[in-house]
Amino acid sequence: MDAIFKSASMTEPIADDLPDEDLAESLVAEATQGFEASVSTMELAAIRSELVDRLLVTRAGRELLRQVRPDPSVTTSADLATPGTSKAELDEWIKAAMGGRTKNGPR
């Protein structure tokens, strides 16, 4: 299964909120392009279905899906803000991290 997905190159960026099922189907469709000349339509549908199932159900498949997703965007850490984070965003993050309390006392 790995060999098929190593040859697939997603040509468009992957949306963060794309459901796993849609991502798996998209990867399988791209990876199996051109197989139409080699196998029947029914066989190709069965192959694609099996590959999608393996991506969604097996540990290795889920790891592959996780690897092709973009890295999460982090704007703050425990005590550092990334460049470009506004003071208002940072204050909101601190307030949320402190359970709604402000730095100087209760809400």
Give per-residue pLDDT as tens, 12-46: 556 666 789 999 999 999 999 999 899 999 999 99
Contact 28, 51 (CB under 8 A): yes
Tell me what pLDDT residue 84 has: 75
Indicate if 61 and 78 belong to the same structural domain. no
Indicate if 10 and 59 belong to the same structural domain. yes
Which of 53 and 103 is assigned the larger pLDDT? 53
Indicate if 13 and 57 belong to the same structural domain. yes
Indicate if 28 and 54 belong to the same structural domain. yes
Q: Which residues constitute the domain of residue 82?
A: 74-107
Which of 95 and 9 is assigned the larger pLDDT? 95
**pLDDT averaged over every residue in the chain:** 78
Contact 74, 82 (CB under 8 A): yes
Indicate if 50 and 80 belong to the same structural domain. no
pTM of the model: 0.56
Indicate if 57 and 14 belong to the same structural domain. yes
Indicate if 53 and 12 belong to the same structural domain. yes
The 10s digit of each residue's pLDDT in 40-75 is: 999 999 999 999 999 999 999 999 998 888 777 766
Indicate if 86 and 106 belong to the same structural domain. yes
- For 24-28, the CB contacts below 8 A with 24+ separation are 24/51, 24/52, 24/55, 24/56, 24/61, 24/65, 25/52, 27/55, 27/65, 27/68, 28/52, 28/55
* Structure tokens belonging to residue 27: 């990867």
Indicate if 62 and 12 belong to the same structural domain. yes
Answer whether residue 102 shows pLDDT above 60: no
Answer whether residue 81 shows pLDDT above 90: no
Tell me what pLDDT residue 9 has: 47
Q: How many domains does the chain have?
A: 2
Give the type of residue at 28: V
Can you list the alpha helix ranges (DSSP code H) found in the chain?
A: 2-7, 20-31, 41-57, 59-68, 87-97
Contact 47, 31 (CB under 8 A): no
Indicate if 27 and 63 belong to the same structural domain. yes
